[in-house]
Amino acid sequence: MDASVTLTRISLLFLSLLFTLSCHSQADLIGDTCKKTLFPDLCISTLRSNPSSAAADVKGLARIMFYATAVKATATLNQVNVLLKKTNDVVLIECLENCASEYASALNDIFTANKNVGSDIFAAKGVAADLIAEAQDCEGTFTDEPYKRKSPLTVENEVLRDLAATVIEIINTLGMDVSVTLTRMSLLFLSLLFTLSCHSQADLIGDTCKKTLHPDLCISALRSNPSSVAADVEGLARIVFYAIAVKATATLNQVNVLLKKTNDVVLIGALEN
């Protein structure tokens, strides 16, 4: 009897250790994945708030993050509909209806993207980038001249933008991606667009860049171009867009070099894509 009890206790201890190791390993996966993203705290809190993350691989984590963007987009769309019922301001109504359209489109995109995470990461990343653009378009509609309005959705747009940016960074960890820097520069460009408003600060570059996802990259990219000295915020956005074109060209050249050096069929397929 004593031997049986001892064996049972050892078995329970073994199972407990396995459970602990599993939880620890998954916690490490979430932490390791999130520390590579633009918003690690947001990434960790979002993933750990979803019970499915406990057993998810990296693809699963990307899907969970996409799900979080869907939840946020749905909540924001509901908020837009509430605001539409509360206002008689014709201009504000037009802005809100534009946002409703953007967020409805975002929801359709998210459900498509979730299917692509495991099969077409480039398409999935494209959808995430579209989500950032849709949040930007919603925010931008309130600042269009000549009838500017204070956006009631700035926080919501920023959260969706940050969640979508996190999705891109998680997807980047799924495999070789020679365009990670290009992706980040594209996100930087979108961030600059997000801050297009009147500025009167002496250090326009510093003031603008500190509001972006990658302030150091922003500052170095802008200050390396002499045109930035006399540029306004729209000019700074154009300069970063030019930097993206330069980086894209360099990356394309790198891809062509890699294609000449490999006979790996799978790698060739990825590079050609």
Question: Using CA atoms, how far apart are residues 239 and 185, in angstroms rounded to an integer?
Answer: 11
CATH T-level assignment (fold) for domain 29-175: Butyryl-CoA Dehydrogenase, subunit A; domain 3 (1.20.140)
At residue 20 the predicted structure's pLDDT band, cuts being 50, 70 and 90, is: very low
ω before 146 within 30° of 0 (cis)? yes
Identity of the residue numbered 78: N
What are the residue boundaries of the structural domains of the chain, listed by start?
Answer: 29-175, 200-270
**Maximum separation of any 2 CA atoms in the chain, in Å:** 87
Most confident of 20-34, 127-141, 195-209, 221-235: 127-141
Tell me the chain's radius of gyration from C-alpha atoms. 23
Residue pLDDT, tens place only, 143-161: 877 778 889 999 999 999 9
Q: Is the pTM of this model over 0.85?
A: no
Closest of 79, 156, 167 to residue 130, by C-alpha: 167
What is the reported pLDDT for 15? 43
Q: What is the pLDDT of residues 175-208, one digit of tens each?
A: 544 444 555 556 666 666 665 543 433 378 888 8
Render pLDDT for 22-31 as a digit per residue (tens, 0 to 9).
444 455 889 8
